[in-house]
Structure 1
Amino acid sequence: MEFRRVHNRLLLSRTNKASMSLSRIAKFSRGEENTGKVIVVPTAVLDDVRLPTIPKMRVCALRFSKMAARRIEAAGGECLTFDQFATENPTGSNTLLLRGRKSRREVVKSYGAAGVPGSHTKPKCTHKKNERGRGRRRSREWKVKSFKYAQK
């Protein structure tokens, strides 16, 4: 791992610096090739209550939530800041660099063209008046009458 890559990740905007949960970190730390490695996460590490037990792991992160830090240390692991990690391991060897998923934001659901056949885009407008289906298309069996005449 190069510290330049970590530096670039630290400079990302808040939108692009997605947080990571303990379950995701535990998932990536499994396996023989990742045992004993320091997991470097240049963002916040949050607790995940869905994971009952976490393995022993050393995690270096920008910040930890209180419960995440408590659970890592209770499992026999270690929470490191970047200053501690740099003094301990100046070469940055034997590490695993991870990042959170940027596509988990709510706004990503509305990317794309809403109303197009086959599109699963979330409509930006949630009012039924503006989203009422008109015309014949694959998802409708018959042509819908105009809303103005349907009320009579």
Structure 2
Amino acid sequence: MGIDLVAGGKSKKTKRTAPKSDDIYLKLLVKLYRFLVRRTGSKFNAVILKRLFMSKTNKPPLSLSRLIQFMKGKEDKIAVVVGAVTDDIRVYEVPALKVTALRFTETARARIEKAGGECLTFDQLALRAPLGQNTVHKSSTYNFFLVVYDNDYQVLGSTVSYAFSILGMSFFFVLKGR
């Protein structure tokens, strides 16, 4: 006896429906944006909720220089980054930006606020723009990273600096494109 499946067979699509992290603040944000998606039907809120579910690898940090470059000509809008915003010492002048992010490094926050900008949290954004009005969503690029294995396929490290610090050992690289 078999199982009766609808024509086309079993659906193999899987996606996260909750974050795997135990961070209670992230779970509160998920609760808030679930409510906003259900009650407003806004596509912006659905995208934010989907990104809140993602793993740490899929929420890479965004540097201040990339953010400034992206926000040229959109100074009146709020930049939304589901991830961390990090400082970039190569940038001398920071314009007044309104940025929402999960996390800011201390120096990035200080430089944005010194320039007359604002660093917002996602709950503040939900109060200010519940439907995502006047916001621009920016996700960081996935750069490749290096995974170093020894001869028994044991992962030794996943950064270039670590890889070159153990050159005396026999190992090989696997370049994972992101």
* TM-score, length of structure 1 as denominator length: 0.68
Aligned residues: 117
Q: Distance in 2 between matches of 1:105 and 1:89?
A: 36
Partner of residue 61, structure 2: 19
The structure whose RCO (Cα within 8 Å, separation 6+) is larger is 1
Deviation at 1:101, TM superposition (A): 1.5
SS for the counterpart of 1:17 is coil
Deviation at 1:106, TM superposition (A): 3.6
Say which is worse superposed, 70-79 or 4-13, in terms of deviation. Answer: 4-13
SS for the counterpart of 2:143 is helix
Alignment of 1:24-39 (within 5 A): 24-31=66-73, 34-39=74-79
Q: Distance in 2 between matches of 1:18 and 1:130?
A: 27
- Greater strand share, 1 or 2? 2
Partner of residue 44, structure 2: 2
Gaps of 5+ in 1: 108-121, 132-152
Alignment of 1:40-79 (within 5 A): 40-79=80-119
Closer/same/farther in 2, CA of residues 69 and 43 from structure 1, 3 Å limit: same
For residues 68-91 of structure 1, give each alpha carbon's deviation from its aligned partner in whole angstroms, at most 9, with x where no partner exists: 000000000000000001011111
Gaps of 5+ in 2: 1-42, 148-159, 173-178
Partner of residue 110, structure 1: none
Match of 1:89 among 98, 121, 129: 129
Q: Distance in 2 between matches of 1:74 and 1:61?
A: 17
The percentage of aligned residue pairs carrying the same residue is 40
Judge conservation of contact 2:99–2:118 (CA < 8 Å) in 1. Answer: yes
Closer/same/farther in 2, CA of residues 26 and 106 from structure 1, 3 Å limit: farther
Deviation at 1:35, TM superposition (A): 2.6
Deviation at 1:105, TM superposition (A): 3.1
Greater C-alpha radius of gyration: 1
* TM-score, length of structure 2 as denominator length: 0.58
